[in-house]
Amino acid sequence: MTPPQAPVEVRHVRDVGPLVIAIEGVTKEYKMGDEIIHALRGVSLNIHSNEYVAIMGPSGSGKSTLMNMLGCLDTPTSGRYEFNGQNVATMIDDELAEIRNREIGFVFQTFNLLARSDSLRNVELPLIYAGVAPHERHKRAKEALESVGLGDRIHHKPNELSGGQRQRVAVARALVNRPSIILADEPTGNLDSKTGVEIMALFDELYERGNTIIVVTHEESIARHARRIIRIHDGLIASDGPAN
């Protein structure tokens, strides 16, 4: 077992805000048949507000496991994870759901929109789970859709939208509850390169507006949009530094 790494000191490209994510010595083990897979072998990292981070690594590196952990979809086998000062590592399902709802905006590779609901209802979904009243919900969902340039598509269903537009709806859904971080998993993976560029431009814009963004990708061109790149290899952080 490799000893936990000390958090790497990050040289910031621009001033960052307070600490959002603090991970120290996190490990994750899976049982696959008789074999125990060490997906993470002791990862430590800090992410502050107003950062733009790319997490890179080949498949099987533990990149996805780390993303699930950061997104509070999963809890570590050992180690410490604090999100805005709350100890996430020992939370139960429903507490994690609450954190995900309030603090994290997910953007998935496959968009994961509800096929039978229009854009507005898709974007409203996190607000329903947050207990926001219908009138307020409509207003905020509409604003979020306008902010990603889809003000004129609010009553379109996913199958009436292009791939890029669908991903914009997903981004609006991620933004709508004003989360602490936006966590995007291969957000351009299902898009053609031109549309991918547009979506990354949208992320850049969101970053400029003060959002904290974590993008998980295996593409260098995507990672270059970020200000900081964390590379994972064999369940460990191989490098963590500013993007060039």
Partner 1 sequence: MDRLFYEITESMRIAMAQIRANKMRSALTALGVIIGIVAVTLMGTAINGIDIGFNRSLAVIGDDMIYVVKWPWHGVDDWWNYANRPPFHVEDAETLNRIAEGTPGSLIDVVVPTAGRSSTVKSGQNQASGVQTIGSTADYGRTIAADFQYGRLFNEEESRSGRQVCILGVDVSEKLFPGKTPLGEWVKIDGHPFRVIGILARQGSFLGLFSLDNQTILPINAYRKFFDVRNGQVQLHVKVKDKTKMDEAQEEVTGDMRRIRGLLPGERDNFSVEQQQAFKAQLDPIKQGIAFAGLFVTGLSLFVGAIGIMNITFVSVRERTKEIGTRKALGARRRTILLQFLIEAVSICFAGGLVGLGVTYGLGLAVRSAMPSFPLVFSFGLVVISLLVSVATGIISGFVPAMGASRLDPVVALRYE
CB 180 within 8 A of CB 212: yes
Measured from the CB atom, the residue of 185 and 240 that comes closer to partner 1 is 185
According to CB under 8 A, which residues from 161 to 180 bind partner 1? 173, 177
According to CB under 8 A, which residues from 86 to 125 bind partner 1? 93-94, 97-98, 100-102, 106, 108, 112, 114, 116-117, 125
Measured from the CB atom, the residue of 137 and 231 that comes closer to partner 1 is 137
Does 128 bind partner 1 (CB under 8 A)? Our answer is yes
CB 20 within 8 A of CB 49: yes
Which parts of the chain are beta strand (E)? 19-32, 35-48, 52-56, 78-83, 86-87, 104-107, 181-185, 213-217, 228-233, 236-242
Does 129 bind partner 1 (CB under 8 A)? Our answer is yes
Tally of CB atoms within 10 A around 220: 11
Does 22 bind partner 1 (CB under 8 A)? Our answer is no
Does 130 bind partner 1 (CB under 8 A)? Our answer is yes
Does 190 bind partner 1 (CB under 8 A)? Our answer is no
Does 68 bind partner 1 (CB under 8 A)? Our answer is yes
CA 87 → CA 77, 80, 117, 224, distances in Å? 14, 8, 35, 31
CB 55 within 8 A of CB 67: yes
Determine which residue in the list 3, 33, 85, 131 makes contact with partner 1, applying CB under 8 A: 131
User: Per the structure block, which two tokens stand in for 160?
Assistant: 């009436």
Shortest distance in whole angstroms from residue 153 CB to partner 1: 20
Q: Decide: residue 148, CB within 10 A, 0-12 exposed, 13-18 middle, 19+ buried.
A: buried
Shortest distance in whole angstroms from residue 198 CB to partner 1: 23
CA 137 → CA 120, 142, 148, 182, distances in Å? 9, 8, 17, 20
Measured from the CB atom, the residue of 35 and 93 that comes closer to partner 1 is 93
Tally of CB atoms within 10 A around 209: 9
Interface with partner 1 (CB under 8 A), residue total 28
Does 33 bind partner 1 (CB under 8 A)? Our answer is no
Measured from the CB atom, the residue of 6 and 133 that comes closer to partner 1 is 133
From the list 71-79, 149-157, 200-208, 223-231, the region that binds partner 1 by CB under 8 A is 71-79
**Site residues (vs partner 1, CB under 8 A):** 68, 71, 73-74, 93-94, 97-98, 100-102, 106, 108, 112, 114, 116-117, 125-126, 128-134, 173, 177
